[in-house]
Amino acid sequence: MSEILNRRLRLLGERANLTLLEHCLHGIERECLRVTAQGRLAQTPHPEALGAALTNEQITTDYSESLLEFITPALSDPAQTLQSLDKIHRFAYSKLGNEFLWSPSMPCPLPAEEDIPIAYYGTSNIGQLKYVYRQGLALRYGRTMQCIAGIHYNFSLPEQLWPLLREAEGAVQSDRDYQSSAYIALIRNFRRYSWLLMYLFGASPALDAGFLRGRGHQLEQLDADTLYLPYATSLRMSDLGYQSNAQAGLTPCYNDLASYTDSLRKAVATPYAPYVEIGTHKDGEWVQLNTNILQIENEYYSNIRPKRVTYTGERPIQALMARGVQYVEVRCLDINPFLPTGVDLPEARFLDAFLLYCALQESPLLESVECGGATNNFLSVVKEGRKPGLQLQRDGQQVELKQWASDLLDQIAPLAELLDQSHGGDEHAKALAAQRAKVSDPSLTPSAQVLASMAQHKESFTQFSLRQSQAHAEYFRSQSLSVEEQAKFEEMARKSIAQQAELEQTEVGDFDTFVGSYQASILAISN
């Protein structure tokens, strides 16, 4: 264990500081497709009873009108965060009629590209901006790719923690800059070690054969309707997912916040020839927001993002540059199709220990060789993480996944212990023990269990997924929310519809001008 990690552990383990870690914040975003009783994409509009996707803070849509996104508040106890996610599911199910929420990350059998409905947000300028942005995504990457769903885990360490560490280490930066550089250091370590999360929690080893739309691939045929890789953990995170030539040259460097925001700012302001050729309009209608490498910064697809809550009308990059990093958003987690909400408390507890390790462990800058190595390790694990004897690259040397995973879990153990001391109990230690068991026995990983369940029931990917979706629907529908809880969600839905209507009625200025000033807001800080 590094000296710096030891020192920080001792400091946080002091009685005066021990309660600090109770104030980490956890938020979860879960995406899921609405499907018909036959397991096909629901092509109905976003249910009005769920409120307005534009203005409801807890229930919105992601890419497609059919792709729901459930958003919890950020809470200090992950058990409460998961409870909040559970309640959102129960409310949604009370309004879904005979539709289901699809249980895994990889989509159900999809209709023709042009029949996948893009999410619509009404006639306000911001609503139209969201719609045109998605039109641009359809042009750039196709609609099929945008139907993949995941779990995003938002995590922050307590604000009081950073001045404590800064003082102890005699850093000369301001508290804000120290906090930002510490989060960027966390992200560098996450890049180094996130292959471990794919091994432990990857749950997409198979997919519906139609997903590839006849494109070439290296997958194996499991049955007439299913493609898979025998040792894959997460095909969702493999190169079958997002493939973008435009983004290929864009690897934001995580040396510091400035270099990160800089690379994204440039990408949002730099034309990309194939997009220029398409243009922003077709037959007088907007088809993409601009012809640059990225339309907006959120288009950059990454496994983890530094984040800051934005003010109304503010862009993510502006918020980061003005006020620094506030939390990280982990974006590489598959939905576990065996769990009704797609994620559970042991996973959250382990993620907290893992992210705390990434934050407190020494984090040298990533040289280009190591950066490439981290990407290769990640891709090896998503495609063949359960392969016996799989070798990864560590410090330029070959090391067996099993060995490195065990070493990492040994190093994360003191962090789990610290969290347990802070919270009382042994929940984090138990969560860590569950991960050790998966390293010893790959058949315990969710990816192996998906394939085992399909084999046991002699099912295709779609049959397995539909069966799980039906079981989860029953779980949520069998116990309604309390009258008060239900009323709270109903009120939130009503309010969101009224908010959207007000936005549309009080709109000032036309859409073209709105897009122009939106673009200018980035260009203004690019100089």
Residue 249, pLDDT > 80, answer no
Mean pLDDT of 418-432: 97
- What is the per-residue pLDDT across 331-382, written as a single tens digit (0 to 9) for each? 999 999 999 999 999 999 999 999 999 999 999 999 888 988 999 999 999 9
Mean pLDDT of 383-408: 97
What is the CATH T-level fold of the domain 3-526, as seen in this structure?
Answer: Creatine Kinase; Chain A, domain 2 (3.30.590)
Q: What is the pLDDT of residue 320?
A: 95
Mean of all residue pLDDT scores within the chain: 95
Q: What is the pLDDT of residue 248?
A: 72
Instruction: Please provide residue 67's backbone torsions phi and psi, each rounded to the nearest 5 degrees.
Output: -100, 95
* Nearest Cα to Cα of residue 383 among 236, 235, 242, 243: 235
Dist CA 521 CA 268 (whole Å): 11
Give pTM, 2 decimals. 0.97
Residue 252, pLDDT > 80, answer no
Residue 388, pLDDT > 50, answer yes
Mean pLDDT of 91-119: 98
- What is the per-residue pLDDT across 190-235, written as a single tens digit (0 to 9) for each? 999 999 999 999 999 999 999 999 888 999 999 999 999 999 999 9
Mean pLDDT of 81-90: 98
Cα distances (angstroms) measured from residue 83 to each of 86, 179, 254, 343, 416: 5, 30, 34, 11, 22
Per-residue pLDDT band for 526 (boundaries 50, 70, 90) equals low
Dist CA 433 CA 408 (whole Å): 13
Mean pLDDT of 499-509: 96
Q: What is the pLDDT of residue 527?
A: 47
Dist CA 324 CA 31 (whole Å): 27
Per-residue pLDDT band for 244 (boundaries 50, 70, 90) equals low
Mean pLDDT of 128-140: 97
* 91, HSE (Cβ side, Cα atoms, 13 Å): 28
* Nearest Cα to Cα of residue 163 among 179, 150, 148: 179
Query: Percent of the chain beyond pLDDT 70?
Result: 98
Residue 146, pLDDT > 90, answer yes
Domain ranges of the chain: 3-526
- What is the per-residue pLDDT across 312-321, written as a single tens digit (0 to 9) for each? 888 999 999 9
Per-residue pLDDT band for 156 (boundaries 50, 70, 90) equals very high
Dist CA 469 CA 101 (whole Å): 6
Q: What is the pLDDT of residue 368?
A: 82
Query: Percent of the chain beyond pLDDT 90?
Result: 91
Residue, of 251 and 229, whose pLDDT is higher: 229
Residue 250, pLDDT > 60, answer yes
Dist CA 12 CA 24 (whole Å): 13
Which tokens hold the place of 43?
């092509």
Q: What is the pLDDT of residue 241?
A: 58
Mean pLDDT of 435-455: 98
Q: How many secondary structure helices (H) and strands (E) does the chain include?
A: 18, 14
